[in-house]
Amino acid sequence: MKKILLATTILSMSVGFAAAEVKVGGSAKAGIARASTGAVAADTSLDALADQSTANSDKAAKLVLLDAAHSAYNTTPDATNAALIVAAKAAYDTAKAKSDAADKVVSGAAATTGDFAAYSSVKITFAGSGVTDGGLEFGASTDTTIGAKYDSLGDFDDESKISTGNTGSWGIPTVYLSGSFGKISFSANNLDFFDDANGNGDVQYGYTAGDVTVGLVADIESSNYSASLSANVGGVALSVDADTYDIWNASAAYTSGPATITLSANEADVQKIKVAYSADGMSASAKFGTDDSWEITGGYTAGALSLALLANSGEYQEVTVSNDLGGGALIVAGANSDQDAFAGVELKF
């Protein structure tokens, strides 16, 4: 992020502090993209087949009642029988919708291709920082995004969609103070818990001593919190986090040269092993879980060109490419097995 010195602002901030500065940065994205409906795998389990049978039987029963209502009206065309037709038709439509949904679950559905549309957005970030006469560091940051945003390079997945036009409302600011006691940050209802599954934290604290780091995120209103502990013991990176939602994660990673092996476990009794390699512009990883999940990634960089591949057990695959033009400008493109696709530019100022 390039530094833009705002002379008058810095002058006013430097009166009472040993050092202070304000940084203004930004990024922009523009291009074309399409968001498609992903394929749905067929579910032929006994429960799904039973639900389909029940729904189809109910639809057939409602159709018999609708036919009976029509016959009654044809015999006696009065208001009472007309009302019976309306009620029977509504009941049949509801039963048919449930039956169609159950049929789709059992038979699955192919991916459908969406239409291409243009996107363009600009993100502006303000960050101020300083140091008190006593040596405490402090700062604050916030940002705003204007325009229609698309999650392209780095964020691309099967849920990427062009957002509706953002009017540029400012994000919730983060304010921090740090020193020998650690670092404490405030951002009302804006801090994620360490498990990434929950959020709405207000206050975060972190402290590092040697190879050991502790952290805490708290939601003041609900009294929920998330805690983490990480340490390096004998070359093994250990990490554990837990929260008041009874979610926890633990991992151990060992790196030898270009290769890293990571073992992990969580509250759902799922254990995973991941092997990763990165050297000479090439990267690859393979992750497998006791829940039969797996994910394989690959990457290659040659000069300004970069290629990334991903495939997982959800029958999902994606490929993204980028060309670094220098100066903070990239040409980017990507596509996935759900028929989502994009092509455009990404700029950093």
Q: Is the pLDDT of residue 7 over 70?
A: no
Q: Which of 119-128, 193-202, 205-214, 243-252 has the lowest mean pLDDT?
A: 193-202
Burial of 32 (0-12, 13-18, 19+ CB in 10 A): middle
Residue 9's pLDDT band (boundaries 50, 70, 90)? very low
pLDDT for position 269: 92
Residue 278's pLDDT band (boundaries 50, 70, 90)? very high
CATH for 74:
1.20.58
Q: How many domains does the chain have?
A: 1
- Residue 146 has which token pair? 């204007």
Q: Is the pLDDT of residue 2 over 70?
A: no
Q: What is the largest CA-CA distance in the chain?
A: 95
Instruction: For residues 247 and 88, give the distance between their C-alpha atoms in angstroms, rounded to a whole number.
Output: 48
In a domain, 65, yes or no: yes
Instruction: For residues 349 and 126, give the distance between their C-alpha atoms in angstroms, rounded to a whole number.
Output: 12
Exposed e or buried b per residue across 276-289, where buried means at least 16 C-beta atoms within 10 angstroms of its C-beta: beeeeeebbbebbb
In a domain, 101, yes or no: yes
In a domain, 87, yes or no: yes
Q: What is the pTM of this model?
A: 0.71
In a domain, 141, yes or no: no
Instruction: For residues 12 and 17, give the distance between their C-alpha atoms in angstroms, rounded to a whole number.
Output: 10
Look at the block and give the residue holding tokens 């990673």. 253
In a domain, 18, yes or no: no
Look at the block and give the residue holding tokens 């980028």. 322
In a domain, 55, yes or no: yes
Residue 148's pLDDT band (boundaries 50, 70, 90)? confident
Burial of 345 (0-12, 13-18, 19+ CB in 10 A): middle
Instruction: For residues 201 and 191, give the distance between their C-alpha atoms in angstroms, rounded to a whole number.
Output: 4
Average pLDDT over residues 255-280: 96
pLDDT digits (tens, 9 = 90+) for 163-206: 776 667 788 999 999 999 999 999 999 999 998 767 789 999 99
- Break the chain down into helix, strand, coil percent, rounded to 5: 20, 50, 30
In a domain, 60, yes or no: yes
In a domain, 88, yes or no: yes
Average pLDDT over residues 6-19: 43
Q: Provide the residue range defining the domain that includes 55.
A: 46-107
